[in-house]
Amino acid sequence: MTLVIEAKGLSKHYPSQKEARLALDGVDLEVASGQLYGLVGPDGAGKTTFLRILSTAMEPTSGTARLNGFDVRKQAEAVRARLGYMPQAFSLYPDLSVMENLQFFADIYGVPREKQKNRINELLEFARLTDFTKRRSENLSGGMRKKLALACALVHDPQILLLDEPTTGVDPVSRRELWHLLAKVIRQGVTVLVSTPYMDEAERCNTVSIINQGRVLITGAPTELEEQMPFRIVEVKAKPRHALREVADQTDGVLSWRAVGDRLRFSVENPDEIMPRIDTALKKAGAQISILREARLLMEDVFIYLVEKQKEQA
């Protein structure tokens, strides 16, 4: 296994008027070549700070980071030559057209002029922007802007791609299209590290690190993380809702519960033991049961459990 991203003890303090704020707290992370690696966490968890350090846009307070063996502090130019970076905020030039943005970034990254035309045409087709080359980027839809930003980050054929919440603020169809594009990028041999607050997107990654309050809480393949949890999930839908909530609060063996849409997800140790109790309690309360079954544990369940555990230990 060849490691292309290595971070050890990475910390970052932001000075403030009262005291230094710790944005990253000793983060260790390794990404192997060819992986789609997800850095998953809520706003303010430290995801953007971590990616900015890897991109050489920011220096860490302590710790080290290497991309393809190059130190992000000491060998920043070598890192940038091998790296594509797509920040969360819209980073293109609004008064330039789609074609002009691609040409500008090709020049910035040092793509030879004789190679630019073919590379840009490849990316226009890749991102489905061929019919919009003359449109100014400020007049693109949110999803099209994201695709253009991705194309600009890929214009110099980087070996590593860093994406900071690439699907935030776009519609569900555009989210799906962006992930289809990322799948193509992976097949081309590019290593992708993507940050996201969306737990369903974490399911798409080969490996995931869940980060909160500047600390990595757990790392592994999504299925591995789900299997490590000390509970299973029972999904229940019943009317009236108040009766269902009362049963959730009063049934022995229910560790916790949360509402998801029109049903509740119970965290339990033994579904086979708990489901008959829930069934009996709901019928006794006069409730009409539509769904009572064991459900697959999701990354959202993993995340909520780990964050709550972190709070308890604080």
pLDDT in tens, 146-170: 999 999 999 999 999 999 999 888 8
Q: Where in the chain is the domain with CATH 3.40.50.300?
A: 3-226
On the question of a cis peptide bond just before residue 240, with omega within 30 degrees of 0, the verdict is yes
CATH H superfamily, domain 3-226 = P-loop containing nucleotide triphosphate hydrolases (3.40.50.300)
More confident residue, 261 or 192: 192
Is-contact 93 108, C-beta < 8 A?
no
Strand order in the sheet with 160-164: 83-86, 160-164, 191-196, 36-40, 207-212, 215-220
Phi then psi for residue 20, to 5 deg, are -65, 135
> What count of other Cβ atoms lies within 10 Å of the Cβ of residue 234?
24
Q: What is the per-residue pLDDT across 271-298, written as a single tens digit (0 to 9) for each? A: 999 999 999 999 999 999 999 999 999 9
pLDDT band at 311 (very low <50, low <70, confident <90, very high): confident
* Average pLDDT of the chain, as a whole number: 92
- Pick left, alpha or beta for residue 181 (phi over 0 → left; psi -120 to 50 → alpha; otherwise beta): alpha
Is-contact 34 191, C-beta < 8 A?
yes
Asked if CATH classification 3.60.150.10 holds for the domain at 230-296, the reply, yes or no, is no
Q: How far is 9 from 97, CA to CA, in rounded Å?
A: 42
Is-contact 126 120, C-beta < 8 A?
no
Question: Residue 16 pLDDT > 80, yes or no?
Answer: no
Question: Residue 17 pLDDT > 60, yes or no?
Answer: no
What is the reported pLDDT for 101?
95
What is the reported pLDDT for 313?
81
Question: Residue 232 pLDDT > 80, yes or no?
Answer: yes
Q: What is the per-residue pLDDT across 243-259, written as a single tens digit (0 to 9) for each? A: 999 999 999 999 999 99
Percent of the chain residues topping a pLDDT of 90:
82
Q: Where in the chain is the domain with CATH 3.30.70.100?
A: 230-296
The mean per-residue pLDDT over the stretch 59-76 comes to: 95
Closest to 253 measured CA to CA, from 229, 234, 237, 228: 234
What is the reported pLDDT for 174?
87
The mean per-residue pLDDT over the stretch 89-113 comes to: 91
Question: Residue 18 pLDDT > 80, yes or no?
Answer: no
pLDDT band at 171 (very low <50, low <70, confident <90, very high): confident
The mean per-residue pLDDT over the stretch 220-244 comes to: 94
Percent of the chain residues topping a pLDDT of 70:
98
Is-contact 81 155, C-beta < 8 A?
no
Phi then psi for residue 60, to 5 deg, are -75, 160
286 Cβ contact partners less than 8 Å away, ≥ 6 residues apart: 243
What is the reported pLDDT for 301?
93
